[in-house]
Amino acid sequence: MLRRTNKPRLDVGRLLNSMGPELTAEEAAAVLYMPEKTINKWIRRPQIKLDPYEADRLASRIGLHPFSVWSWDWVDTA
């Protein structure tokens, strides 16, 4: 269950960019444990925002600290 917060949210495009330009939606879905339909939506709309807690979890799934993905924007949400 995600905790809802009034804190700033983080754009999903930076997460996808961190995964590499050649990664397919199918591969990203497998790594992130997300439906491929969701990944395709994120690819079409990279400005979609993630809750900081979800952003943290997804960055961890690709083996990165959220700071490595969102830099100081992530710190500002903590």
pLDDT digits (tens, 9 = 90+) for 15-53: 999 999 899 999 999 999 999 999 999 999 999 999 889
Question: Domain limits of the chain?
Answer: 10-77
CA neighbours closer than 13 Å in the CB half-sphere of residue 64: 20
pLDDT of res. 1: 44
Q: Quick one: pLDDT band at residue 8, thresholds 50, 70, 90?
A: low
pLDDT of res. 36: 97
Average pLDDT over residues 50-74: 92
What's domain 10-77's architecture? Orthogonal Bundle (1.10)
* Rounded Cα gap, residues 71 and 35, in angstroms: 26
